[in-house]
Amino acid sequence: MRHNEPLYVISVAARLLELHPQTLRKYEREGFVAPSRTTGNLRLYSAEDLESLRQVKHLVENRGINLAGVEMALQVTKRLHRIHQRLAALDGEQNSPLREVVEEVEDTLRLLGYSVRR
């Protein structure tokens, strides 16, 4: 299964995220997620979409950030994620000088509600 494969209709996605389907529609209008559509125009969410929505939920509910702030946090998250990938690729050794930077970027991503995978 691919991480970006559309699998979940809106009712299932809403249940998994413990959000109302209308909230998912609102987050789509805000541009936080762009679910795929079936030929019948049903929304289909991927695991990647759910991950993004979990981050939005975390920022709104746990950090008290408004939707404009969420948009900015998601942009920062994307940039940090790219930086993290590049640093991790350069950091081959356990005691590398980059290890500390990689860990700080990971901590910052977690603060923003992004789940870091190695």
Q: What is the third-level CATH fold of 1-64?
A: Multidrug-efflux Transporter Regulator; Chain: A; Domain 2 (1.10.1660)
How confident is the model over 88-103, as a mean pLDDT?
74
Residue 79 reports pLDDT greater than 80: yes
Averaged pLDDT score across all residues of the chain = 89
pLDDT one-digit tens code per residue, 46-61: 999 999 999 999 999 9
pLDDT of residue 20: 97
Separation between Cα atoms, residue 80 and residue 74, nearest integer Å: 10
